[in-house]
Structure 1
Amino acid sequence: MFYQECESLADKHPELRDLIIKIDDTLHSSTPSSVFRPEELASKFNERQSQVTGIFNELANSGLVRKEKYVECPKCRNLMDVDEYQKALDDLDTFECTQCQIDLTIQRPDEITVYRLNASKVKKSSSKNDVIENTSSQIPANFNQKLPKQLIDDPFKNTPLLRYYSRYNNLKTSKPFEAKRIIFLLHFLKDFIPFVRACEELGMQLSNSYFFYKSYPYPQKESIIKWLKDKNAAIVAPHSQIDQYLRQLNESSVDRIGKILIIEDGGFIVPAIHNQFPILIKNVIGAVEQTTRGIRNDEQIKGLKIPILSVASSNIKNQFEPQYIAKACINNIQRMLPNIAFNGKHIALLGYGKIGQEIAERLRNNGAIVTIYDNSDQNMVMARQNGFETADSPSQAAQMKNFVIGASGNESINSDVISILNHGTYLISASSEQYEIDIDELERLNRHKEELKNDNEELIGTTYTLPPNDRHIHVLANGYPINFWGFESMPEEASDLILTLILLSAAELALGNYKEHEINSKAVNKIAVKYEVAKKFREIHKQG
């Protein structure tokens, strides 16, 4: 959706998502002078007026729209100030409609509530007329895409490795996911479609599965949500509602709950079960985690009581994936800023892990002057040996830079960094979550905020005006991971390998082959060898 307030409201009320999308589209094509009447929109959308009114009231509370009361002429429906009308009544004066001139003290008007888009959500036009324009005049074409027909017709066309293992002899016959309640929290990119289909081939029942999604602006998120709902998935909801649905499970009978398998990205579900719903633990057969951040969250659990297979720490993922993530990050920055070259730009890179190393090399190859900070002494030594300048702190690294990129997996662009940024600096997250940039600090200091568009008038983020000296700080992708801003993060050939590893790890857990209560990456490496994943990948994709 275009407006974050609408997206947040849809996350809060998933049952109203389709209606909120329609309202978001309507607001997107409006100006601050446009008047919205809930009864008219309810009729247009064929929805209940009470629901439309309720949505507008919540959007008014969020500041996206403002609520106004008027008197409406019964003849021409012209709107006039309710206080002026009441004053005329009190003074026993006449009050004529400004449009059709009938006396409204005789033909009594209705008092109505309407809504308008807040002017603060749009910016002044640069034209000489200085009129207010709608800043949402164009949603980037890469947002809210439909699923390609060929993907629906043949989900495995571009992920043949997933096809192969979804029909692998002993897995196909044993149906490891049969009668399991699988809880997913993965990226809603188009490669999720073949992954879900592979899980179905191995016995998963959509009617017994929960699908949670993040608030990222994935290019086809809405289409994937609809696809899952059309296939009667048990739950399709934003990840902000994980606790709500876990609570419902927690209150169910043991027989109804059944065996639970978790496949997630980010370490949200496993800690929630341990810390808030421990009754469910006896039903959980294990979890597969695919990100380093998720493993960090799981490591904070005191007394882990389930097996966790760490794809995040596996050899294949660490050796294969970072180059694709880095390429997507660099490509997306260049797509967003087509008229700004890296050559000669001073860039701070905060985080020099596997992905950070790849990003640094690609930036240098594009002519950028890169300064590295990482809280690992070993990584800092490596950065120096690889010929990069290093800094003693994030704020030192960020001084006098054109770009500051966070790739640490934690909050790296904090208040200290924000306080020393130059006017015109671009902030970018290359992490898997919205952790890298302290958006709350930017909001706290903000004197003025407006949508950031590039020279092609595409929405690419937000510009904050901060003290001192009204510095303009540009946050690309609004602090979301840059590799997900309206684009696929990796080519499907690359995701085919990683998703296959996730699928096989989940299958091994479901078959009961790993029961130790530990975070285990060696097991994933063994699974990759057992199923000859790398060899089969080379054969199928004809590499090497």
Structure 2
Amino acid sequence: MNSAERSIVRDMSLAPQGRLKMDWARDHMPVLARLRERLSVEKPLAGEKVAISLHLEAKTACLAELIRDAGAQVTITGSNPLSTQDDIAAALAQSGITVFARYNPSPEEYKDHLIKTLESRPGLIIDDGGDLVSTLHAECPDLLENVKGGCEETTTGILRLRSLEKEGKLRFPMVAVNDAYSKFLFDNRYGTGQSVWDGINRTTNLVVAGKTVVVAGYGWCGRGVAMRAKGLGAKVIVTEVDAIKATEAYMDGFTVMPMMEAAKHGDLFVTLTGNKGVIAAKHFQVMKHGAILANAGHFNVEIDVDALEQIAVNRRIVRKDITEYTMPNGRKLNLLAEGRLVNLAAGDGHPAEIMDMTFALQALCLLYVHENHKKLGENVLDVPYQIDEQVSRYFLEANGMQIDDLTEEQQRYLASWQLD
């Protein structure tokens, strides 16, 4: 049985459409192209099985094909029910990669796709949000012995891994790709900053300038979203639970206040905290008529959609990816993409050039685990600085830029404690 026959996808006839999108992304990912030149010849993952759970769209497909070209047998599933693109899933299945993913599966189907991916008995894992690793530890412990280690893409996933590690239950090394400088400085900040507003603007077709935007969370993703909102002409309020981050937001020129107060002023809300109940029933009660709610955190728990459903006296779909909720007093609140990741559920995710860097980190870190897993322990690990820097160097070279190198005298000076 070939990969297309093994796969579970919506419609294989969509494959040509998906391939066009993948070709466009591939043409704008020069760092992966450089890696492909080397890895497709060396085949360092020959004989290895790799399981991937990521947002299944065009840039992800380019990473999956790179890993396949490096010699691995690849099985892939989605990491969010609304971020899988059915044409991409079909194109990958046609290309020799086994795919278990459909757009908007039921919760039962989503879990089944994760388990089927794990049943490929992978030696290496790439995860986004921790669903694959959590399912492996909780529901498929008999498959743990096959796994050498893997990489995690997101803040949320790393929190889950740290919890597993703290309880002494993590059974293999996982590299925290999200925490690499080349990830959070660029992907989280510039990628999220642009793609969130791409998703919101595409979905609402409304102007941002002049509106009050409330950004919940001032991590790297929150910084990016706030910065782009300001650039689009919005007045920006930041809510935080961390005093240091709140101070930074203030020094960056944003207004800082608790969500209960911000809820009264906001025209548009974006949550990026990784936590649940950030916008809750008490906040809905004081929001303006017409307020728009969007989430850019990994899971759909940051906005309490259940509470919104219970409070509302009516709900209707007013536009693709917009659900309007009518409150008892007639006010209407608008929820984007069911409270799921607005940049992926209602958009195409981060720009290709940004994901080029992130997925180069994923590929290089996967090779690092493959080559060193026996001495890495059962831990959550930082990305080695050499890999982090290498990706940025590749990016600069691909864009025709060069930087200076330290002279031997400068190196000696920096390494010495003496004054002269």
Which bin holds the TM-score, normalised by the shorter protein? Answer: 0.7 to 0.9
Deviations 1:77-124 (A, max 9, x none): xxxxxxxxxxxxxxxxxxxxxxxxxxxxxxxxxxxxxxxxxxxxxxxx
Q: 1:485 to 1:145 in 2, by over 3 A?
A: farther
Return the alpha-carbon distance in structure 1 between the equivalents of residues 76 and 266 of structure 2: 44
Is residue 19–residue 88 contact of structure 2 (8 Å, CA) maintained in 1? Answer: no
In structure 2, list runs of 5 or more residues that go unmatched. 1-6, 403-420
Q: Is structure 2 residue 266 aligned with structure 1 residue 395?
A: no
Q: Greater relative contact order: 1 or 2 (C-alpha under 8 angstroms, separation 6 or more)?
A: 2
For 2:68 and 2:251, how far apart are their aligned partners in 1? Answer: 48
1:199, distance to aligned residue in structure 2 (A): 0.8
C-alpha displacement of 1:324: 2.4
Question: Compared with structure 1, are the counterparts of its residues 204 and 155 closer, same or farther at alpha carbon in structure 2 (3 Å cutoff)?
Answer: farther
Pick from 446, 454, 465 the counterpart of residue 326 of structure 2. Answer: 465
Please state whether the residue corresponding to 1:146 is helix, strand or coil: helix
Question: What's the counterpart of residue 222 of structure 1?
Answer: 86
Q: Which amino acid aligns with 1:331?
A: D
Distance in 2 (alpha carbons) for counterparts of 1:331 and 1:173: 37
CA contact (8 A) 1:246 1:277 kept: no
Match for residue 533 of structure 1? 391
CA distance in 2, matches of 1:249, 1:329: 29
Structure 1 length as normaliser, TM-score? Answer: 0.65
| Equivalence for 2:43 | 175
**Alignment partner of 2:396: what SS?**
helix
**1:178-327 alignment to 2 at 5 Å?**
178-206=46-74, 209-217=75-83, 221-237=85-101, 240=107, 241=109, 243-244=111-112, 259-301=122-164, 302-303=167-168, 304-321=170-187, 322-327=189-194
The 8 Å contact of residues 528 and 534 in structure 1, kept in 2 or not, is answered as yes
CA distance in 2, matches of 1:16, 1:202: 24
1:540 deviates by 1.6
Alpha-carbon deviation of 1:235? 4.4
What residue number does 2:272 align with? 407
User: Structure 1 counterpart of 2:17, which letter?
Assistant: K
Quote how far apart the aligned CAs of 1:506 are. 0.9
Partner SS state of residue 197, structure 1: helix
Identify the range of structure 1 (171-180 vs 382-391) with the bigger mean alpha-carbon deviation: 171-180
Distance 1:155 1:352 in 2: 29
Judging by fraction of residues, say which structure has more helix.
2
CA shift at 1:477, angstroms?
A: 2.5
What pairs up with 1:82-93 in 2 under 5 angstroms?
A: none
Match of 1:166 in 2: 36
**Shift, 1:368, TM fit:** 2.1
Amino acid at match of 2:387: I
Does the Cα contact within 8 Å between 1:403 and 1:425 map onto a contact in 2?
yes
TM-score (norm 2): 0.82
Give the aligned residue type for 1:147. G
Query: Structure 1 CA distance, aligned partners of 2:25 and 2:213?
Result: 40
Instruction: Deviation per CA, 1:276-318: give whole Å up to 9, x if none.
Output: 3323222111121011011112122121221010110111111
**Alignment of 1:348 onto 2:214:** yes
In 1, Cα distance between the equivalents of 2:185 and 2:288?
36
C-alpha displacement of 1:504: 0.8
Q: Call closer, same or farther: CA 1:249–1:379 in 2, change over 3 Å.
A: closer
For structure 1, the residue ranges without an aligned partner over 5 or more in a row are: 1-13, 22-142, 454-458
1:86-105 correspondence to structure 2 within 5 Å: none
The amino acid that maps onto 1:318 is F
Counterpart contact for 2:26–2:62, Cα < 8 Å: yes
Give the corresponding residue for 1:102: none
Query: In the TM superposition, what whole-angstrom CA distance separates every residue of 1:216-248 from its partner, at most 9, and x where no partner exists?
Result: 255xx1111212332354442358556546767
Relative distance call for 1:355 and 1:16 in structure 2 (3 A) is closer
Aligned to 2:307: 441
* Shift in alpha-carbon separation, 1:428–1:500, aligned structure 2, 3 A: same
Structure-2 residue corresponding to 1:119: none
Structure 2 counterpart SS, 1:316: helix
- 1:543, distance to aligned residue in structure 2 (A): 4.1
CA distance in 2, matches of 1:181, 1:448: 49
* Paired position in structure 1 for 2:412: none
**In the aligned structure 1, how far is the partner of 2:156 from the partner of 2:377?**
22
Alpha-carbon distance in 2 for matches of 1:498, 1:248: 26
Counterpart-to-counterpart distance in 2, 1:432 and 1:310: 16
DSSP-derived class of the 2:58 partner: coil
Task: Write the letter of the residue equivalent to 1:203.
Answer: G
15 and 192 in structure 1: CA distance in 2 versus 1, 3 angstrom threshold: closer
The alpha-carbon deviation at position 508 of structure 1 amounts to 1.4
Pairing 1:30-45 to 2, within 5 Å after superposition: none
Alignment RMSD, CA only? 2.9
Q: Deviations 1:393-419 (Å, cap 9, x if unpaired)?
A: 322221132122212122321222223
Q: How many residues align?
A: 386
Equivalence map 1:28-177=2 (5 Å)? 146-147=17-18, 149=20, 151-152=22-23, 156-168=26-38, 171-172=39-40, 175-177=43-45
- The one-letter amino acid of 1:498's match is T
Q: Is the 8 A contact 1:407 1:430 kept in 2?
A: yes
Give distance in 2, aligned partners of 1:470 and 1:155.
45
2:192 paired with 1:329: no
| SS of structure 2 residue aligned to 1:399 | helix
Tell whether the 8 Å contact from 1:410 to 1:435 is kept in structure 2 after alignment.
Answer: yes
CA distance in 2, matches of 1:402, 1:165: 44
Which AA in structure 2 matches 1:462? T
8 Å Cα contact 1:347/1:371 also seen in 2: yes
With over 3 angstroms needed to count, the CA separation of the structure-2 counterparts of 1:325 and 1:272, relative to structure 1, is: same
* Cα distance in 1, alignment partners of residues 284 and 304 from structure 2: 8
% identical aligned pairs: 23
Question: Following TM superposition, by how much is the alpha carbon of 1:160 offset from its aligned partner in structure 2, in angstroms?
Answer: 2.3
Indicate the residue corresponding to 1:8 in structure 2. Answer: none
1:418 is aligned to 2:284: yes
Q: Distance in 2 between matches of 1:462 and 1:246?
A: 28
Alpha-carbon contact 2:148-2:369 (below 8 Å) kept: yes
**Compared with structure 1, are the counterparts of its residues 484 and 235 closer, same or farther at alpha carbon in structure 2 (3 Å cutoff)?**
closer
Contact 1:179 1:205 in 2 (8 A): yes
Partner Cα separation in structure 1 for residue 25 and residue 200 of structure 2:
29
